Structure 1
Amino acid sequence: MNVAPIPSPGDIGAQAVAIRIGGDQAAFWGCGFFGAQDTLHDDRGRHYFKECFIQGSIDFIFGNARSLYEDCWLVSMANPVAPGTKSINGAVTAHGRASKEENTGFAFVNCTIGGTGRVWLGRAWRPFSRVVFALTTMSDIIAPEGWNDFNDPARDQTAFYGEYNCTGAGANMSMRVPYALRLNDTQAAPFLNVSFIDGDQWLQPYV
């Protein structure tokens, strides 16, 4: 937990990491991660999160790891927005993949997104940012456009942002940014289980 105050978008030096994970083959079952901006620094390596509670406001899951999040609760604590406004005041993810050669990315499967504010699913911290949300329930806090290119339109061509069979008011893809991908079964398959993180080679069952 990091109890630093919730920052406003654009505040300088407001990041307040609760945990950084930089080792390979790390797994977390039923853990809670609490903070505001940059809560969980999923830095590098292969990681597995199962039934975890992750709270934050801006980029609250960020880094350049290759991680699978299953059955997790992602809770925005961004400040509420006034009714009728279109302001964005948070983002769930900021993945930092810098080149297409890097086999990294975040996959969220059977998760639930809720809380307060109006947030993006992710923004492209680095040009080849890669995030997939599959079979996830999204509340209406998700902005209709869904994703953000970090104010660099060139990243529209290189980021990989996919959604697959998600539900809830925030999962409507009709107004998504043009580079958001509606994945079919074949495209989604590599992201849906522990094979995404080579888990069959190292992940031990939790007992």
Structure 2
Amino acid sequence: MFETLDPYQNVAPIPVPGAVGAQAVAIRISGDQAAFWGCGFFGAQDTLHDDRGRHYFKECFIQGSIDFVFGNGKSLYENCQLNSMASPVPAGVKSINGAITAHGRASSDENSGYSFVNCSVGGTGRVWLGRAWRPFSRVVFSYTFMSDIISPEGWNDFNDPTRDQTIFYGEYKCTGGGANVTLRAPYAQILNDTQASPFLNISYIDGEQWLEPYK
């Protein structure tokens, strides 16, 4: 269990999209049953390595440009602010220069995935909600405000169409200019109440068994 008034920070400069060796992790969490309240995570590419295990993030501020929440953890992000610092995109230009998540679930046997509930997404650039770092990548956004920095297609299959049948990218009752699902990638799922239910609270990470109330 962690709380801090000081940020977890990596001050490496913002990389050009596609740059090799530009990853600059601010923190890596790979232990099971870890919780963060009111923490700040600051970086550019690969800010928060949510590597593996069950984790809970509440009222945290997470900033980055490319894949700034990545790994193969099974984590619930609640009331968090996700801030893109990707370079601003000129009006009329459709290029993508960032991504919020890059989840690394490699097979259907792995019980992992990121769930964002009551969060907000803003900042600069034009970014995807997630891209499929591994072929069974799983990410869900629910009740989240998305500014218009989110690209209309929303998601990216890592330029590998064979992953379209195995990735799980879901959205549920999100709002804001970036939440328009009309032009979403065909493999993105607009969840109904039943489909969204497992992702909406601490039961997603078995939190009732280990998560202690914050004091």
Give 2:66's aligned residue: 58
C-alpha distance in structure 2 between counterparts of 1:205 and 1:56, whole Å: 29
1:150 aligned to 2:172? no
1:3 aligned to 2:3? no
Letter in 2 for 1:84: G
Give 1:199's aligned residue: 207
SS at match of 1:91: strand
C-alpha distance in structure 1 between counterparts of 2:111 and 2:158, whole Å: 21
**Which of 140, 161, 181 pairs up with 1:173?**
181
SS at match of 1:97: coil
Give 1:41's aligned residue: 49
Letter in 1 for 2:122: G
Give 1:94's aligned residue: 102
Deviations 1:36-95 (Å, cap 9, x if unpaired)?
000000000000000000000000000000000000000000000111010000000000
Count residues with an aligned counterpart.
207
C-alpha distance in structure 2 between counterparts of 1:95 and 1:11, whole Å: 19
Identity of aligned residues (%): 79
C-alpha distance in structure 2 between counterparts of 1:191 and 1:61, whole Å: 17
C-alpha distance in structure 1 between counterparts of 2:87 and 2:212, whole Å: 39
TM-score when scaled to structure 2?
0.96
Letter in 1 for 2:75: S
1:32 aligned to 2:40? yes
1:18 aligned to 2:26? yes
**Which of 140, 143, 153 pairs up with 1:135?**
143
C-alpha distance in structure 2 between counterparts of 1:149 and 1:112, whole Å: 23
SS at match of 2:110: coil
> Deviation at 1:190?
0.1
Give 2:168's aligned residue: 160
> Deviation at 1:100?
0.7
TM-score when scaled to structure 1?
1.00
1:109 aligned to 2:129? no
> Deviation at 1:169?
0.2
C-alpha distance in structure 1 between counterparts of 2:20 and 2:198, whole Å: 37
